[in-house]
Amino acid sequence: MVRGWRIAMAGILMAAGLGCGAAVAQDVDILAVFAKAMTDQRVGVARKTKPVDGRPAKVGEVVVTVIKGEGVESRSKPAEEGDIVIRNRCPATGNEEYLVKAARMKDRYGEPKTAPDAAGWVEYEPKGAEMRYFILGDKEGPWSFKAPWGEDMVAKPGDAIVQDPANPKDTYRIAAASFACTYNVTKAP
């Protein structure tokens, strides 16, 4: 029903000249797409290396990730005790924020590197776990798929699709500017 509504609205907006040429995202099985990219030898390895800021999330807080120039990327599930709001240090993306679950925080970011500032933010250094990735080509996307946290995610040409090699179901989109700003490629495709 929601998918049909999106298509109908896109058609109405395009007919009214309000669609700005934007295409409706095609639903895809992102794991199958990633497997095809691997078969086609388009997958490399990258690590998140740029320091980030973090603060304790308020229980029940929903973190809306907004990418500068693109709008809302995702909305988290309500935060639970111990979850952390992470803020990328990337002016090109508007220093977007996202929620990291308490259980994953130590593996991804370790311990804080600084004392909290007046707003409660501390510096974390990514542990740089190796992630598989591929970049969507000019004629690929927009694609819609379910992110590991259950929300619809849209990937557009130029974006990175990343995957945890230890948990292939942990596959998600990183906006092109965010990937360029916060990741280092360790093995090109």
Q: Which of 124, 158, 173 is the last residue of a domain?
A: 124
- What is the biggest distance separating any 2 CA atoms in the chain, rounded to whole angstroms? 54
Please check whether residues 36 and 57 belong to one and the same domain: no
Check pLDDT > 60 for residue 105.
yes
**Bridge partners of 161?**
134, 173
Residue ending a domain, choose from 79, 95, 124: 124
What Cα–Cα distance (Å) separates residue 23 from each residue in 11, 34, 65, 73, 74? Answer: 10, 22, 22, 16, 19
25 falls within a domain: yes
Same domain membership, residue 27 and residue 69: no
The radius of gyration of the chain from alpha carbons, rounded to an integer in Å, stands at 17
What pTM, to 2 d.p., does this model score?
0.78
pLDDT for the residue 5: 36
Q: Does residue 101 lie within any of the structural domains?
A: yes
24-76 pLDDT, tens digit per residue, is: 788 999 999 999 999 999 999 999 999 999 999 999 999 999 999 988 888 89
Domain end (from 103, 124, 145): 124
In a domain, 24, yes or no: yes
Contact indicator for 50, 92 with CB cutoff of 8 Å: no
Using an 8 Å Cβ cutoff, are 87 and 54 in contact?
A: yes
Per the domain annotation, does 12 fall within a domain? no
| Domains held by the chain: number | 2
Enumerate the β-bridge partners of residue 184. Answer: 47
Structure tokens at 24: 């409706």
| Residue 149 is assigned to a structural domain of this protein | yes
* End-to-end Cα, the chain, rounded Å: 39
Domain that holds residue 70: 51-124
